[in-house]
Structures are given as structure tokens and as C-alpha cells.
Amino acid sequence: MDEPGFSTKAASLYVTTAAFINGVRVPGTEAIAGGYVNANEVVVQHTIGLTFVRTFAAGDVVTLHGYRIGKDGTVGIISNGDGRTRISAHWVNPGF
């Protein structure tokens, strides 16, 4: 049964994330997850994990962005109250 706003075809959906510092994408921070969305619009939530080392300066603004590739729809970064979506930073002594 076709309903307005719903697809009648199954398709692949890929979600890409990347970290940005002061609005500039940080190379090597990209991650991708893929899934299959059926004709009934059943969607599966994905978890992407990535670790990288990068030098930050005082006052830098670090953000995480996401976008979709493929099937029409929306994608977003979900930050739940349980802290499962986060960007963590650790201080590493430059002489280390």
C-alpha cells in the first residue's frame, strides 16, 4: 500500500560522519556505515566508532557532522542522555 511520504522500493542507505575543527573537515576522521531500508521504511540505527589523534589549540571548536548517501530521507547525529554519542579529547604532552 502506497502512502504519501513513503517509498515503495527498497534501497541501500549509507551514513557518513566526519569531525571538523573550526569548520574545516579533519582528514582521517571520516567513517561510514551502511544499511538496507526495505519498502516498509524499516530503519536500523547504526553505531560508528573511530579513534584519531589530532592537535587542538585553545579555543578550537570541534564539531561532528553526518550526511546520507543514497535513499531519500534524513540522517542526523543523535546525542542521547546516556552519552553514547560523543567526541572525547585527551591531553597528550608534546614531549611524549
Q: Report pLDDT for 56.
A: 81
- Exposed, middle or buried, 30 (CB in 10 Å: 0-12/13-18/19+)? middle
Pair 67, 75: CB distance under 8 Å: yes
pLDDT band at 2 (very low <50, low <70, confident <90, very high): very low
Amino acid code (one letter) for 33: A
pLDDT band at 3 (very low <50, low <70, confident <90, very high): very low
Q: Report pLDDT for 22.
A: 94
50-83-43 Cα angle (round to 5): 70
Residue 94: left if φ>0, alpha if ψ -120 to 50, beta else—which one?
alpha
- What are the tens digits of pLDDT across the range 33-90? 766 666 665 555 666 677 777 888 889 988 887 766 655 555 556 666 665 555 555 4
What's the pTM? 0.55
